[in-house]
Copies of this chain bind each other. A is one copy, B any other.
């Protein structure tokens, strides 16, 4: 089996404390002793047992990241950024998938598999404001996304409503008046869908454009297939529209597809705007105008915040908002 401190001590003819001192670069060691110990470490191929250190220190150096599904580009890209930032801070990341169901999300918060981590970055998709109390956990927790506000935990999010308003105004400024929306969740008030829908309405009202229920296409999930179906339905309904705001990029890719099928040109007949600025949005045909939600900043702040809270659990709970930006590309005139 693997060599232990004791093995090294025996081989070097010293006590384990001396070996430990060498490993931790304790300054006052006789050079000869140090060398003897180092030779023994080398000879035995000794590496410290991390688990034993964890038990001593009460830390593991691992944080958990819970996202709905890595097959969703937004979360895959977020996870990549989180892992990169965590590595900079000397942390590893255990990734969990909730599948985006409320039950699994709530279950995960108490799952034994988290007991080994120092904290959790949690991005729920289905839990709602009513479930906020579930976030009262006894470990460091940082919330991501826009399902729950004013909860008992740190929160890193973005200004969804303002950003959606900006995206809608971007279309209005380019002369569009009949702006369809794809991806609504009926009855949702907060959550990405609810907040972004509110921004869309605000923009239309501020511009004196009527709000037409027939232009709002619901889509339960936000996969490509959902954007495709919702847009097909919209076209089939016969409603007239000259622009389309998809509540995320993935929906927008499906929508582009449906418009192509129907022979509507983009941006000529229909201007399209997405939301998220996933990598792919720069390479769709046409390249997608979208809202960059500051994903990189979000990942960095979330990791830094949880590191701080691990260090000092007593710090005040905080909500942080990322800056957004409309990225103009070919899908709008």
Contact = CB atoms under 8 A, between A and B. Distances in A.
A225 B280 CA distance: 10
Interface residues of A, number: 50
Interface string A39-82: 00000010111111011001011100000011101001101100
Nearest to A287: B257
A93 B116 CA distance: 12
A310 B226 CA distance: 41
Interface string A202-227: 00000000000000000000001100
Contacts of A54: 51, 54-55, 116
A113 B92 contact: yes
Nearest to A113: B92
Interface stretch (A14-22, A94-102, A152-160, A239-247): A94-102
Interface string A94-115: 1111000000000000001101
A257 B283 contact: yes
Nearest to A93: B95
A172 B83 CA distance: 43
B70 A77 contact: yes
A292 to B, nearest CB: 15
Most B-side CB within 10 Å, residue of A60, A69, A116: A116
Nearest to A79: B70
A89 interface: no
A254 B283 contact: yes
A256 interface: yes
A208 to B, nearest CB: 35
B2 A138 contact: yes
A246 B208 CA distance: 49
A285 interface: yes
A60 B113 CA distance: 10
Contact of A94 (B50, B94, B280): B94
A279 B55 contact: no
A228 interface: yes
Contacts of A71: 76-77, 80, 279
Interface of A: 2, 45, 47-52, 54-55, 58, 60-62, 69-71, 73, 76-77, 79-80, 83-84, 87, 92-97, 112-113, 115-116, 138, 224-225, 228, 253-254, 256-257, 260, 279-280, 282-285
29 contacts: A2-B138, A47-B112, A48-B112, A50-B115, A51-B55, A51-B58, A51-B116, A52-B55, A54-B116, A60-B116, A62-B62, A70-B70, A70-B76, A70-B77, A71-B76, A71-B77, A76-B79, A83-B97, A92-B94, A94-B95, A95-B95, A224-B279, A224-B283, A253-B283, A257-B283, A257-B285, A260-B285, A280-B280, A285-B285
